[in-house]
Structure 1
Amino acid sequence: MADKSSTLMYKGHPLRRKDNLIYYGSMADKYIIMIQVTSTTKSGDLEIADKVHLELQLTDPDLKSRDRVVKKSDLPDLFSAIDMGSIWLMRALSGK
């Protein structure tokens, strides 16, 4: 199990990756961001995300998965998704 010091953080919230899904935020909070890489292109030896699906979700385990989605968007790259996701998460957690 990874300790807190080795957790990747971005703007004060943890980033976790599982295959093509990236979760941004803490399950202890009311909201979390889910980023799904839907398409990649090859650039040299690297796979670069060129289509990304972004969702702001409630973390309430009693809700069905489709009822957890608050906002969603499709974006052209991972940077745009993380940037927009951090704004959505900040606003949602602050109650705005």
Structure 2
Amino acid sequence: MANEKIPLTYKGHPLLRKDNMIYYGSMSDSHIIQLQILDTKPVGDMNVATKVSIQLQLTDPDLKGRDRVVKRSEKDSLYSAIDIASVWLDRALASR
């Protein structure tokens, strides 16, 4: 049981992190969110994101990278970035 990998989710959508990139959503859906941590500052014994780029992207593999981006923004904390990302993703998936 300890070896089972339980995927991390937020409001029903999976989160996947690789270094400073966080992907929110499923590649099997029409859209995903890409969060990129651009800047951090040390708080106590850990680093906290102070600048985060958000992109709502299409998952169509036939599109070029630039053509996949639907919306983009920057926020000053990971919490505010994931909060707006959740709204964008829910709206994009509801409009299918």
How would you bin the TM-score normalised by the shorter chain?
Answer: over 0.9
Which 4+ stretches in 1 moved above 4 angstroms? none
Does residue 1:12 correspond to 2:5, yes or no?
Answer: no
Shift, 1:44, TM fit: 1.2
Q: 1:37-93: CA deviations, max 9, x gaps?
A: 000000111000000000000001111111100000010000001000000000000
Q: Indicate the residue corresponding to 1:42 in structure 2.
A: 42
Unaligned runs of 5+ in 2: none
The one-letter code sitting in structure 1 at the alignment partner of 2:56 is L
Task: Give the TM-score of the pair, scaled to structure 2.
Answer: 0.94
SS of equivalent residue, structure 2 residue 61: coil
The one-letter code sitting in structure 2 at the alignment partner of 1:40 is T
Pairs within 5 Å for 1:1-96: 6-95=6-95
Unaligned runs of 5+ in 1: none
Take 1:12 and 1:66, find their aligned partners in 2: how far apart are those partners?
27
Q: Identity of paired residues, percent?
A: 57
The one-letter code sitting in structure 2 at the alignment partner of 1:76 is D
Shift, 1:33, TM fit: 0.4
Take 1:31 and 1:79, find their aligned partners in 2: how far apart are those partners?
20
The one-letter code sitting in structure 2 at the alignment partner of 1:80 is S
Query: Over aligned residues, Cα RMSD in angstroms?
Result: 1.5
Take 1:9 and 1:48, find their aligned partners in 2: how far apart are those partners?
20
SS of equivalent residue, structure 2 residue 82: helix
